[in-house]
Amino acid sequence: MGSDVEIELEQIRRRKMIELRKKGDSGNKDPTHPTVLTDGTLQEFVASNKLSVIDCWAAWCGPCMMLAPIIDQLAAEYSGRVAFGKLNVDENPSTSAQYGIMSIPTLLIFNNGQLVDRMVGVQPLQSLKAGLDGYLTK
Beta-carbon contacts of residue 102 (< 8 Å; ≥ 6 apart):
none
Q: What is the pLDDT of residues 29-60, one digit of tens each?
A: 567 789 999 999 999 999 999 999 999 999 99
Interior angle at CA 130, CA 119 and CA 58, nearest 5 = 30
Q: Please say if the pLDDT value at position 86 is more than 80.
A: yes
Tell me the HSE value of 102 on the side-chain side, using a 13 A CA sphere: 1
**Domain boundaries defined on the chain:** 2-23+30-136
Interior angle at CA 107, CA 89 and CA 135, nearest 5 = 150
Residues 125-132 have a mean pLDDT of 93
The better pLDDT of the pair 109, 135 is held by 109
CATH number for the domain formed by residue range(s) 2-23+30-136: 3.40.30.10
Of 20, 61, 104, 132, catalytic: 61
Would you call 56 a catalytic residue per the annotation?
no
Q: pLDDT value at position 114?
A: 95
Of 53, 64, 104, 132, catalytic: 64
- Report field, pTM of the whole predicted structure over 0.85: no
